[in-house]
Amino acid sequence: MKILILGAAGRTGRLLVEQALVAGHTVTAFVRSEDPAIAETPDVTTFVGDATNEADLAKALQGQDAVISTLGPIKPRDTVVSLATGLLIKVAAQQKIKRVIMMSSFLASPQFRPNAIVRFALKLMDGIVSHFKSAEELFEGSHLDYTIVYATRLTNEPLDKNYVVVQSNEAVGANDSISRANVAHFLVTQLVDTAHIAQTVLITDKK
């Protein structure tokens, strides 16, 4: 497939680019500014632009089959996730692109059970969580074949594919984690896996 990766220069995004290439997809990496690591990766097209700019998104989406977003806020009140999502839904519909996969924060998952310390921290991070939830609501109101992926606390462990989908009747806490490499692998699998279309899904490494 021809895929556009938003947030490709981030720590998860870079691994996602690698995993998508391994899977045989044609990758366009959407970045805010030139990134040497991305630019030097063979067989990757780099698109420099602003994900909250409709014209930039429209140009980058031309000819794509699907989109994976690992966009995240830089600061607590950063609105990039919700703004970019609204524009992405609009432009994807105009260009008849149906498949969109978004990595969200597990802090926004209804299956997350924070302890007292984390609950206090969440009050300080309320802006981040609220923008992810707003993005999810936008997807739910769209006609896209979307999948929203919650990942537990991210680590830098290598890819081992030793992760699981958390069942809807199970919960996770602040001590649960998953490697960014495993998250990237799962995101790529969703390009062809239809089991979680129009759903949210929570993933974590096996204990």
Write down the pLDDT at residue 7: 95
Write down the pLDDT at residue 117: 58
pLDDT-wise least confident of 68-72, 76-80, 178-182: 76-80
Q: Check pLDDT > 80 for residue 99.
A: yes
With bands split at pLDDT 50, 70 and 90, how would you rate the model's confidence at 39? confident
Write down the pLDDT at residue 13: 96
- Within 7-48, strands assigned E span 26-31, 44-48
Question: Both ends of the chain: CA-CA distance in Å?
Answer: 33
**CA 162, 69, 66, 142 torsion-angle sign:** positive
Write down the pLDDT at residue 77: 66
Q: Which is more confident, 174 or 90?
A: 90
Torsion of CA 112, 116, 117, 120, to 10 degrees: 90
Name the residue among 139, 150, 51 with its Cα closest to residue 104: 150
Q: Check pLDDT > 70 for residue 147.
A: yes
Complete domains list, the chain, with CATH? 2-205 (3.40.50.720)
Q: How far is CA 37 from the centre of its chain?
A: 20
Write down the pLDDT at residue 115: 66
Q: For 165-185, write each residue's pLDDT tens digit.
A: 999 899 888 889 999 999 999
Measured CA to CA, the distance from residue 47 to residue 106 in angstroms comes to 28
Contacts of 66 (CB under 8 A, 6+ apart): 1, 2, 3, 4, 97, 98, 99, 100, 101, 191
Greatest Cα pair distance, the chain, in angstroms, is 48
With bands split at pLDDT 50, 70 and 90, how would you rate the model's confidence at 124? low
3-state secondary structure of 107: helix
Write down the pLDDT at residue 123: 59
3-state secondary structure of 78: coil
The string over 81-93, giving b where at least 16 C-beta atoms fall within 10 Å of a residue's C-beta and e elsewhere, is bbbbbbbbbebbe
Confidence (pTM) = 0.92
